Amino acid sequence: MKLKSFAAFIFSLLLAAAALAQDKPQAYVGAQIITIAGPVIDNGVLVIHRGKIVAVGREGLTVIPADAQRHDARGRVIMPGLIDTHSHIGGGSGADSSSPIQPDVRILDSFNPRDTSIKRAVAGGITTVNVMPGSGHLLSGQTLYLKLRNKLTIDELLIRDSAGNIAGGIKMANGTNSIRPTPPSPGSRAKSAALVRDMFNRAIDYREKVRRAAGDKEKMPPRDLAMEALIEVLDRKRVVHFHTHRHDDILTVLRLAKEFNFRVVLQHVSEGWKVPDEIAKAGVVGCSVIVIDSPGGKIEALENSYKTGGVLDKAGALVGFHTDDYITDSRLFLRSAGLAVRAGMSRERALYAMTMAGAVMLDLQKQTGSLEAGKDADFIILSGDPLSVYTKVLETYVEGIRVFDRSNPQDRLFAVGGYGAARDQVVHIDEGEVDRR
């Protein structure tokens, strides 16, 4: 049998096995289960069927269907799949140098679903991501919320809302990244904010013209894809994911959000610990914090602190974590929670930040982020405590399908690295990509 034919045969067998697993209930028995939604369950049972969670509870007290396939998970820890609220896996890029504000650009059109960075992400226990363009523009394009299913096209990774629309936000930035010395980019922080205000005011005018037309094609303004995206922001249908580091830049974002009444997730918030009460009072959707465990980076992130997550959480702000992969490797995402706990954040809130908080920020809280009956069967199996540096992600499941298995040599390659692990990979940089094939 030829190599390609053999590979196709093996792939068909895997698909058949996955389909069988969906048709028959699966019960994972004996593990410690961290549901996020309630107390930790020792000697727990997780029952899934056809991509959904059927039951979660204590062994002996939870009904397991008679036809369920049982999996002995004793000595293991099961928790929800991790949610990365800011990632650049997939090698995508957004806006170009033609304008500092480009709402019509879609990361959808540049995402590579076969990029091996996706394999690294599931090896790290990540099941849901917010994939974004870079932060070198005031507005660099529309983001995508993806489930990291074991699929080969972008359409098969998409998350859609109840109306069938592709789920995603929009990426904005302020601070030094978006300040450029030459037009059309702004040359200062004040000019950056002025351009953003002008952008939203033009969108308000466009929205009013559409409203006045009342469906009459002859009265409608010429179609403007950029304005249509901004109207979704103004109507609070699309969340703004705002890259911001310094405390004064953070407050500028809060002013803009209040002025134009848009929903915002503050991304990075390196100096958020300086203005926690202002952030909490503003009622932002959430703060997506990056935890960097090595020195370096830009000057405006100089005062980034491990304590940021805990300080913001205690002030009442919703806190989640992100990788900004490749800034933090997706395989090491769980360390974010461990380092935050070391700096004072509670264990429960740090694990919540890795899971349910991210789901809330992406408007996905009804389907993922915790282990509850009726939700998607997105979960990971760990070798030990999630905050231990010795713990490994053993298996990752998306909607009940195993997408990573550390005991599989090919999957293990992506988990530990080595020759071939970066094949088909493109590393994201704010204004370009570096081929790592």
User: Residue 81, by phi and psi: left (phi above 0), alpha (psi -120 to 50) or beta?
Assistant: beta
Domain presence at residue 128: yes
Residue pLDDT, tens place only, 23-47: 899 999 999 999 999 999 999 999 9
Q: Looking at residue 434, what is its pLDDT? A: 46
166 and 17 in a common domain: no
179 and 60 in a common domain: no
- CATH number reported for the structural domain that contains residue 284 in this entry: 3.20.20.140
Q: Tokens 């109207």 correspond to what residue?
A: 231
Per-10-residue mean pLDDT of the chain, 437 residues long, equals 49 55 90 98 98 97 95 98 98 94 98 96 98 96 98 97 95 94 89 98 98 95 97 98 98 98 98 98 98 81 95 98 95 97 98 98 98 98 98 98 97 92 65 45
Q: Which domain-ending residue is among 30, 52, 75?
A: 75
138 and 47 in a common domain: no
123 and 23 in a common domain: no
Helix (H) / strand (E) element for 120: namely helix 117-123
Q: How far is CA 153 from CA 48, 108, 273, 349, in A?
A: 26, 11, 40, 35
Domain presence at residue 404: no
Domain presence at residue 375: no
252 and 127 in a common domain: yes
Domain presence at residue 401: no
Residue pLDDT, tens place only, 45-57: 999 999 999 999 9
145 and 264 in a common domain: yes
Give helix then strand counts, H and E, for the chain. Answer: 11, 19
Domain presence at residue 31: yes
CA distance 47 to 400: 10
Q: Which domain-ending residue is among 15, 48, 75?
A: 75
Q: Across the strands, what pairs with 289?
A: 268, 321
- CATH number reported for the structural domain that contains residue 59 in this entry: 2.30.40.10
Q: Which domain-ending residue is among 55, 75, 95?
A: 75
164 and 66 in a common domain: no
Domain presence at residue 245: yes
Domain presence at residue 409: no
Q: Looking at residue 4, what is its pLDDT? A: 46
Q: Looking at residue 183, what is its pLDDT? A: 82
109 and 43 in a common domain: no
136 and 54 in a common domain: no
99 and 69 in a common domain: no
Range of the domain at 41: 3-75
Q: How many domains does the chain have?
A: 2
426 and 311 in a common domain: yes
